[in-house]
Chain A
Amino acid sequence: MSALLRVENLHKRFGALVVTDGVSLDVMPGRIHAVIGPNGAGKTTLIHQIFGTLAPDAGVIRLDGRDITRLAPHRRAQAGLARSFQITSVLPEFSALENVALAVQARAGSSFRFFRAARGQAGLNAPAMAVLERVGLRARAGMVAGSLSHGEKRQLELAMALAAKPRVMLLDEPLAGAGPEETARLVTLLGSLRDACAIVLVEHDMDAVFQLADEITVLAQGRVIAHGTPGAIREDAAVRTAYLGEDF
């Protein structure tokens, strides 16, 4: 089986500060690949480079064999990458349904249509509704996104990412700020997404990471210090000193 998303020897520095130092990683289809590490390890910077909001100094990023290193973010999205944001990022004035319908519209590549009203289009609303159902937000479809609870906004973000039918989803701390109940619900939801696409998961909640991940890559100071199954990572001495701590 070959990797769906392949990051090869990525380098990025801001002045004297090396934030990504030769990172390589392979994301297999249908797998959840967690990226963990202490604060400042370069996890979010890595996500930015994979998605194209930051350009790497060196290295190659391939999606299903295709070199996407120099593509603009919206082109990468069209090629099959989707991302969620560390800070909740929905369109606050739109209803939940409109948020997802926009993602469907983006997927269809059809935003240069000027004359038919978008609101009533079944071609946008039906798939959007199906995705809302999947993330458990169907009952909230008509609500303005800005008035949803924090956990619901997180679910809505996932719905927007899912609606794009991505091949790889980049999730940057999808559980940040969620309460215990919301976390449990989101973890179940994330686990169920495996069959939809591969996932790169950056997350600080270690319980969730070890519950969800099929593979884990550990970053410290911009470098990969370990990679393996959750079981192997838990036992890795270098990881324990760098990040997890002795009593994990």
Chain B
Amino acid sequence: MTLLTRELAARIGEERVYTAPEPLGRAAIRYFALATGDTDPAHLAGDVAPPTLICETNQYAGLPRDADGYAGHGWHLDVPGTRLVRGGNAYRFERPVGPDDVITARWKLADMTERVTGGGRTMLIVTSVATYTDQAGRVLAVNEETLIHVAR
């Protein structure tokens, strides 16, 4: 069974850009710190965002929630006969993020590769790269995300 169809391969290189409708905000930073058990006073005061916040939030996306309740970026790839699992993330942090920053996230569908597991299952590995910038165009962080469609 081939998962990486010609139609899917043609989507490699697609991009989506989202800009938050407002600055990140002190409340959003404090809420994230409280939710994760972060005790750093600068985070709890909302002065500086914990480094992974902008890679984890969907605040910037402005998307309606889907049938699963998810309201973040997605490529909505049609890969029949598979289930979707998270592979992992690789973050690179370039600058501290503060409450006045207006986040833009530029997502790129960087690559799709097909592999067969040791157990003989075919899987499609989807690699995306999100680059987060502030209102001055300065890069704040880069997030390489891997999602895996595993044949049932």
A and B from one complex: no
